[in-house]
Structure 1
Amino acid sequence: MRSNSRFRTAALAATALLAALSLTACGDTDGNADKTGAAAPAGSTASSGTGKDTEGAGTEDQARNASSASEGKSGDKGGDTAGAKNSTGSDTGRKSSAGSTGNTGSPVTCTGDNTKVTISKVSRPINHLLLTATNTGSRPCYAYNAPALRFDDAQSVFPVLRSSVPQAVVALEPGQSAYAGIGLFGESDGQDLYEGTDLTVYFTPRSNSGSTGSPTELKLPADTRWGDNGFVTYWQSDMAVALTY
């Protein structure tokens, strides 16, 4: 009986030992599982590290993109600045162009107040004088019709040659001149000739009625003789044309 009891006790002890060993083995397995489980976050960290590398690359790309964008903006600003300069240059060109036109105001009538009038003797045609009126004002002026001439103390003005009417009214910019030819006397014989010393030049208005502005008093060239059947041409823009009559 005692032998059986001892045997049972030994058997129970052996069974308990096996159970303890079994539990230890399970504990080791669980430990390994825990270690494996801990390795997973480590693997995740590595993946996260890879993610950081990718993020770093993305940051570099963003930096490059930002740099490109910045350069683009700088280029845009430079373009705007250049455009502004061109625009300013264009404005300046327009101002210069306006200045070149003189922009001296609307034209006025040529008179003795805004012109300098001179008279000279010419060799051809014979018995002719040339009258020149130069615009000395700051505005353009129109030399209307023909000058009205009075020799010395004559009772009437000199005859005007109607066939010399120009195609257009002579317009003078400041500094430009108009010309009128004076035929001192006609070709017929037996006409009376007068020794001339002074000449008064009157300017006529557009209406060709009366005179306008101040007249100009001139001294005639020496030995000037004039007759009642002489003539004066209309104002011409070309000296040669004024002397063809």
Structure 2
Amino acid sequence: MRTSRIRTAALAAATAALGLALTACGGSSDDNGGGKASDGGRSAGSSGSAEGATVNADKGATVGAGKDSASASASASGASAGTGAGTGKEAAAKGNGAKASAAGVRACDGQEMSYSVLHRFAKQRGEHLLITATNADTKPCYVTSYPSVMLGDTVGVLPHSGKDTPGGGKALVVKPGGKVYAAVNLFSDSARTHTSSDLSIAMLDHTGDAGPGAGTEAFDAKGVPSKFTWTSADVTNWNTAKPYDY
């Protein structure tokens, strides 16, 4: 069991500040984004397996840095250091022209989710982190957009992949025990790289707000913590099929 309250606060601060900055400028309509987080702290547990590490977000935990945290600073150091990405609010505003909705089903906020992260194709072309989110609750919920992710000790929320397929504005209902997938694409194109096995994950709703975050490690196919290296990175939409499943 490991906790990651400092990383959660940083994740919330980054998403909140990005959202506030965009709001002050009148907003735009990109699919990129991070989103803001709700009040409180967070904790998560993790366990390794051949499928990756599983992290169960604490039912009583909420992310620090509220919607009114106008002073929150998103100094984007490292891979996601201000790559021009917008926020989840932008993604929600555009959403491919569709508003996420699921009649009678609530949005997944992350507290009901367990996460696993599998490091694939280490040091090869196509290297990425496969994120699997499993609904561990007894009721269905829906996801939309893409996960809000920070890597290692950086405080910048990763942008949405510009090469992703459309569909981030749709609501994907996740039944109890059901799974959805997203990928963090890793790029190393200079000597100025970062290395870590840690990352933080939070759910974004269709408005771009972030739910409780979870800190975990990436694992290889043998269930061993796996360090990844990156200069820059981005993240894909949630999907019912595994991205890059080849």
Q: Normalised by the size of structure 2, how large is the TM-score?
A: 0.49
Which one has a larger percent strand, Structure 1 or Structure 2?
A: 2
Using CA pairs below 8 Å that are at least 6 residues apart, which structure has the higher relative contact order? Answer: 2
Which one has a larger percent helix, Structure 1 or Structure 2?
A: 1
